[in-house]
Amino acid sequence: MDFIGANILSIQQFERGDIDKVFSVADSMKPYAQRQRATRVLDGAILGNMFFEASTRTRVSFGSAFNLLGGAVRETTGFESSALSKGESLYDTARVLSGYSDVICMRHPQEGSVSEFAKASRVPVINGGDGANEHPTQALLDLYTIRHELISKGRQIDGLRIAMIGDLKHGRTVHSLSQLLCLYKNIHVSLVSPKELAMPEYLVEALREAGHTIVISEELTASISQVDIAYSTRIQEERFQTKAEADLYRGRFRLNQSIYTEFCEPNTVIMHPLPRDSRAEANEIDSDLDGNPNLAIFRQADNGVLVRMALFTLVLDVVHLVEKSAYDVPWFSGHRH
């Protein structure tokens, strides 16, 4: 794909070579993300960070990524603090905000809303999650993490064995990740969910058409016994009619240290897009796994900055200029990796 000036709306835009390019640029961003070097390559540029649905990681890591490249960030969070609550259309919002920004990141609860916004925008738009549909930058950082974790174990993405666990119906991260895995070869995918929260059939079909082996199960322990990656997801409470309905599924796929020790291979990596639901009744990924070196959830979140820096530099066509405006940081950098 031609990244320059492109909207990043769906994983379907990417081919395998594009992923290699994003990952290679993301690798080159490490000195900046780790505060060893600073760059002013986007000095004067403005990111419009428009989040109409709750977010911690995606919103702040997009903002941090832009700041680390020397750009400024303007944000709006939630419907109530934007003129959408006064009946303004996405079209008008896009026309206006794109006059204030060089690139826009957007999250919105309606499927297709970010694409609709992008049609009216005068600057590139990056999808930070549109309802239960897609979360393409999460899939990129997930695969970047998978690649990194596998490389350290002498493996590669082709031939990966992965279990996706939890609310696969509403979880947009697993929707985008499944599409991304279709670009690779010989993947073994276990889809572990209650029947009611199964992965949409069109995505299962896409994985099959890519030649991958698919196992569909409601049983956790057998499904995680021979995988490289156990990718857990939260029950997406906000997509259910009532909290009581979501509560029916809580704790069904609990992962803790004793389950890990009994059922997983010693090197199985645990991932989760976060937030993990840490309320007592959620029983998703217990905190007794926090000291397990194979729990990659915070490395995964850190990688969001690298991948989003890569996307900004590719879309705004400054990859070749990053180092030219770089310098060693003059402040005490207590950043621990």
Q: Which is nearer to ligand CP, 49 or 55 (CB)?
A: 55
* Residue nearer to ligand CP on the CB measure, 79 or 263: 79
The residue among 41 and 181 lying less far from ligand CP, judged by its C-beta, is 181
Least distance CB 73 / ligand CP (angstroms)? 15
> Active site residue: 57, 175, 212, 308, which one?
57
**CB of residue 63 to ligand CP, shortest distance in Å:** 11
In the complex, the smallest distance separating the C-beta of residue 54 from ligand CP, rounded to whole angstroms, is 6
Residue tagged active-site, from 37, 59, 107, 108: 107
Distance, in Å, from the CA atom of 173 to the CA atom of 143, rounded to the nearest integer, reads 11
Based on CB atoms, which residue is closest to ligand CP, 76 or 221? 76
**Coil, strand or helix: which one is 212?**
coil
- Active-site annotation holder among 37, 59, 108, 135: 135
Active site residue 39: no
- As measured in angstroms, the least distance from the Cβ of 279 to ligand CP is 16
Q: Both tokens of residue 221? A: 């322990």
C-alpha torsion sign, points 213, 219, 222, 223:
positive
Dist. CA 215–CA 10, nearest whole Å: 25
Q: Going by C-beta distance under 8 Å and a sequence separation of 6 or more, which residues neighbour residue 233? A: 164, 165, 166, 167, 168, 171, 173, 174, 272, 273
- Nearest approach in angstroms of CB 173 to ligand CP is 6
CB of 312 to ligand CP, least distance (A): 17
Q: How far is CA 77 from CA 53, 105, 255, 259, 277, in A?
A: 7, 12, 33, 39, 22
* Residues 9, 277: Cα–Cα separation, whole Å: 27
The CB-of-110 to ligand CP minimum distance in angstroms stands at 16
CA distance 117 to 93: 8
Q: Can you give the binding site for ligand CP, defined by CB under 6 A?
A: 55-59, 129, 138, 273-275
Q: Is 153 a catalytic residue?
A: no
Nearer residue to ligand CP within complex by CB, 38 or 134: 134
Structure tokens at 220: 């956790």
Per DSSP (E only), the strands in 157-211 are: 161-165, 188-192
Q: What tokens does 229 get?
A: 């990656």
Q: Which is nearer to ligand CP, 57 or 252 (CB)?
A: 57
Distance CA 237, CA 240 (A): 6
List of residues 6+ apart from 25 with CB closer than 8 A: 309, 310, 313, 314, 319
User: For 45-171, where are the alpha helices, taking DSSP H only?
Assistant: 57-68, 90-97, 113-120, 136-151
Lookup: tokens for 69: 């490249």
Is position 77 annotated as part of the catalytic site?
no
Active site residues: 57-58, 86, 107, 135
